[in-house]
Amino acid sequence: MILLILGPPGSGKGSQIEKIARKFNLKLIPSPGDLFRKIGNSEVRKYIASGRLVPDELVAKLIFEEIGDTENFILEGYPRNISQAETLKNFLTKRNKKLDKVIYLKVSEEEIINRITNRRICSRCGRNYNLITNPPKEEGKCECGGELIQREDDREEVIRTRFNIFRKQTEVLLDYYKQKLIVIDGEQLIQKVFEDICKELVK
Ligand SMILES: [Zn+2]
């Protein structure tokens, strides 16, 4: 089985991918960003150090190396646009494979903002909190005594900008993949989201 998962930042993709990979025995192919950090490819480093985008051909090469001969895997963060989707399709077709399903975790902008703006991190030990789902025992303080702060990236304006970029990128992919698309209500509890995904995958 070959899967792709799509969802805005803060949709809970990370935990779902791990659960899906474990349950269906799929290799987890890291997103391009994670892959760049993991492999430390010198060519990639040159681009990142100079603030330039890593070219599509190089991204594809690294992702496809990671896929290798694997029969069953799940992709995240690649493809991001139609041109990459076509490149992936060609790669798979040449190997008599195809993308089976595309899972879309649908979460509204307001819900994402609600989730992320409630995140806090300890300025001393780096521990993560959420004021709603995982609040500290003492307001504004970590268990280690450190002060809880909000990450610059977790502010509302930053999230709205990121969400809108995601929406623009993803709308075209959702249309491109409409035959394979599974839309899941990502605003439910993690376990319920996972159950819904499983139900659709075994259909
Ligand atoms: Zn702490």
- The residues whose Cβ lies within 5 A of ligand 1, an ion, are 122, 124-125, 127, 142, 144, 146
CA of 121 to the centre of ligand 1 (A): 8
Give the range with max mean pLDDT: 34-38, 141-145, 151-155: 141-145
Among 198, 171, 172, 173, which residue's Cα sits nearest to residue 184?
198
DSSP category for residue 203: -
Interstrand relation of 148-149 and 119-122 (parallel, antiparallel or unpaired): antiparallel
Active site residue 13: yes
Per-residue pLDDT tens over the stretch 112-130: 999 999 999 999 999 999 9
- Residue 101 appears among annotated catalytic residues: no
State yes or no: cis peptide before 8, omega within 30 of 0: no
How confident is the model at residue 37, as a pLDDT? 84
Closest CA to 173 of 32, 7, 36, 30: 7
Domain 2-201 has CATH 3.40.50.150: no
* Rounded CA separation 83/80 (Å): 8
pTM above 0.75, yes or no: yes
Q: Where are the domains of the chain?
A: 2-201
Annotation says 151 is catalytic: yes
The band of 165, judged by pLDDT with boundaries at 50, 70 and 90, is very high
Average pLDDT for 175-197: 96
118 strand-pairing partners: none
The enclosing H or E element of 194 equals helix 190-201
CA 170 to chain centroid: 12
> What's the CA dihedral at 73, 82, 194, 112 to 10 degrees?
140
Please write the tens of the pLDDT for every residue from 24-63. 999 999 999 888 888 777 788 888 888 888 899 999 999 9
